[in-house]
Structure 1
Amino acid sequence: MRRPRCAAALFALLTLGACTDMSDTGRRTATGALGGAALGGIAGSFSGNAGWGALIGAGVGAGAGLLYDRSQQPPSYGSGGTYRGNEPAY
């Protein structure tokens, strides 16, 4: 019984340690997927299929995390547009 607990703790430590070099986009997407999988697994357990609930929740959570990341980034202006920043209009 002690060996699986140590293995699970080591796995969790290594998994969380891998997030240190991630970009903000990757971190927010992964956090959304993890939270979605947890909530989806809980909701799916009520209907008798926690695996499908976690799978669907992970997909929805990853999408939500990505959308949140995009909303937090400054707007980017294309190179072909007429935006010139703070230059005066003549």
Structure 2
Amino acid sequence: MKKTMIWILLVIMMSGCSGLSTRQKNAATGAAVGGVAGAVLTGGSSFGTVGGAAIGGVIGHGVDSAVKRK
């Protein structure tokens, strides 16, 4: 039941991203992945989660720029 609720919330949250630009979507995805990675690497610390999300967002935002330069 818990996994089902998580998936439902994820689908609802992602449907709100339909109006975002590619750069904004990349930044949001990077922040989400970075937040999870930061939480895993630091054992769930708030600082690690927020730091990972911030770094992931910056990297995700820059991915669009790097791809366009090629």
Q: Output the TM-score relative to the length of structure 2.
A: 0.80
For residues 27-57 of structure 1, the C-alpha deviation after alignment (integer angstroms, 9 at most, x for no partner) is: 1101111110010000110xxx522111000
Q: Identity over the aligned pairs, expressed in percent?
A: 21
Q: Which has the higher helix share?
A: 2
Find the partner of 2:48 among 25, 29, 53.
53
Structure 2 residues not aligned, in runs of 5+: none
Structure 1 runs (4+) greater than 6 angstroms displaced: none
- 2:62 aligned residue: 67
State which structure, 1 or 2, has the greater radius of gyration over its C-alpha atoms.
1
Flag the structure with more relative contact order, 1 or 2, with Cα contacts below 8 A and sequence separation at least 6.
2
Structure 1 residues not aligned, in runs of 5+: 75-90
- Calculate the aligned-residue CA RMSD, in Å: 2.1
Deviation at 1:7, TM superposition (A): 4.7
Q: What is the aligned residue count?
A: 69
- 2:33 aligned residue: 35
In 2, the alpha carbon distance for the partners of 1:27 and 1:44 equals 26
